[in-house]
Amino acid sequence: QVQLQESGPGLVKPSQTVSLTCTVSGGSITSAYPYWSWIRQPSGKDKEWLGAITESGSIYYTPSLKSRISISRDTSKNQFTLQLSSVIPEDPAVYYCAAGEVFGGTARSENKSWGQGTQVTVPS
C-alpha cells in the first residue's frame, strides 16, 4: 500500500517561499502511479489542483500559479517537493500530496493515495 506524508513549515511570512515535501513509502514515485500531485484546500473552499509530476518526471502546473510554483522530485529519497514563492494572503490552506491515475483530479476517488495534509498559515 502506497503511503504519503507531507512535511514542511506551518507558518510562512508573506513574500517568502514555502517548501513542502511529500515522502512516499510502499511504492516508487517512478512506477507506482502515473501522477504525483499537490492539491490545496483553503478553509471553506473547494480543493484546488496545483500541479503534478509524472512517474517519468514530466511536470505540469496549474496556469494560475505557474509563475510562483515549482515541483521537483528526489528519486533516491522517494520524495517530491512543492515550492511556492512570493506567498500571499490567499495561499493559506491545507496542502495535500496525492497520487493516482487521473491527471488534475482533486476528488478523493480520483487519487488512490493521499497524505494527511499539512496546514500552511500566512500571518497578516
Q: What is the pLDDT of residues 68-103, one digit of tens each?
A: 999 999 999 999 999 999 999 889 999 999 999 999
The string over 6-28, giving b where at least 16 C-beta atoms fall within 10 Å of a residue's C-beta and e elsewhere, is bebeeebeeeeebbbbbbbeebe
Q: What is the pLDDT of residues 5-18, one digit of tens each?
A: 999 998 999 999 99
Q: What is the pLDDT of residue 24?
A: 98
Q: What is the pLDDT of residue 54?
A: 97
Q: What is the pLDDT of residue 10?
A: 87
